[in-house]
Structure 1
């Protein structure tokens, strides 16, 4: 099995982005959802991206954003990849000249194979915990046995991952990548460099 990629999401400060890059993260996530405690402004996002070394993928997270709002952000912020966390249709996710991933909040009985077919334009599917009324970033772990083997899209596993449980998650799910936010924080939106380091080491050692 090839190396599992890692994304540190909900970055709000330049120093946290640099800590993620230094630890070996493959990607960082910037949240453009005003209701999130980890939301960034266009100015913050531009400063963070400008400080990053090459080969770190920058991902913009959106929740039911209008095409106009999304277009304005993309004109101002050089994002590599888009992540849709709301009720977006495949049409809503496409047409921005960027690769995109769709987040799904997993519940018992969900047909994830059908969801992968529905979002066939996605370059990956992010699987997160379902918490009613909250589009993500809940810090909750879901039942990984709900994920079928052999999904047709690369799986990015999210939801309550920490330096302590990510190796077990990788062993069970064998995802393409793992995505962490709250599990490496000192406070909401403020990352802990030592926890980021411990998380990436656990991923690399899995």
Structure 2
């Protein structure tokens, strides 16, 4: 089955449309103010409307308040939530949306033990670890740490780009890949050419 592809950190409608035209399965909108890829509610609502009904729109949060998530859901058509902080399972599952829980791959992390803490997650996203940075580092991790047999989909993130994504997919057999900086010409500004190359290579893996 072809690897699914999410293009994250979309800040412009043109970039969302370019991702859809290149065959992306999902786009990601960042609701975390310190990120250079953060969007306002109004921006996010406009972008979400631009992709059509068959592309999954994912909202990314980092240790948000419950009210922030609920306010966002009232105004933006999000299909899936993605949590990148220290959120508990009880917090993640209260919004009546499928969710992905991101795990940052610290050297001492027991992946399967940590995954077991989120049995209600639709998928687990594995991302590179850098102290104090909840994602978007542009760094990768040892792909051999990705569990080969998992009862839930695993999404691979961290340091992916057109040049290495095929090897990443081949090595891990992952359900999906998530890219942000690896398809940008500047932080928050996507390159249609890099998006297209990334998706072609991901599905060739």
Q: Distance in 2 between matches of 1:170 and 1:18?
A: 25
In the TM superposition, what is the alpha-carbon distance from 1:147 to its structure 2 partner? 1.8
Provide the residue aligned with 1:68 in structure 2: 67
Alignment of 1:32-181 (within 5 A): 32-181=31-180
Does the 8 A contact of 2:82 with 2:99 survive in 1? yes
Q: Distance in 1 between matches of 2:149 and 2:4?
A: 18
- What is the CA deviation profile of residues 63-121 of structure 1, one whole-angstrom value per residue up to 9, with x for unaligned ones? 00000111111111110000000000101101101000000001223211112211001
Provide the residue aligned with 2:3 in structure 1: 4
Q: Distance in 1 between matches of 2:11 and 2:25?
A: 17
Q: Distance in 1 between matches of 2:151 and 2:104?
A: 17
Q: For residues 151 and 109 of structure 1, do their structure 2 counterparts lie closer, same or farther at Cα, with a shift above 3 Å needed?
A: farther
Does the 8 A contact of 1:116 with 1:151 survive in 2? no
Q: Distance in 2 between matches of 1:93 and 1:35?
A: 21
Alignment of 1:182-193 (within 5 A): 182-193=181-192
Matched length: 205
- Structure 2 unaligned blocks of 5 or more: none
TM-score where L is the length of structure 1: 0.98
Moved more, 181-190 or 107-116: 107-116
- Structure 1 unaligned blocks of 5 or more: none
User: Matched residue of 1:95: which SS?
Assistant: helix
User: Matched residue of 1:91: which SS?
Assistant: helix
TM-score where L is the length of structure 2: 0.98
Does the 8 A contact of 1:157 with 1:177 survive in 2? yes
Does the 8 A contact of 2:49 with 2:77 survive in 1? no
Moved more, 109-118 or 44-53: 109-118
Q: Distance in 1 between matches of 2:106 and 2:86?
A: 15
Q: Distance in 2 between matches of 1:171 and 1:107?
A: 23
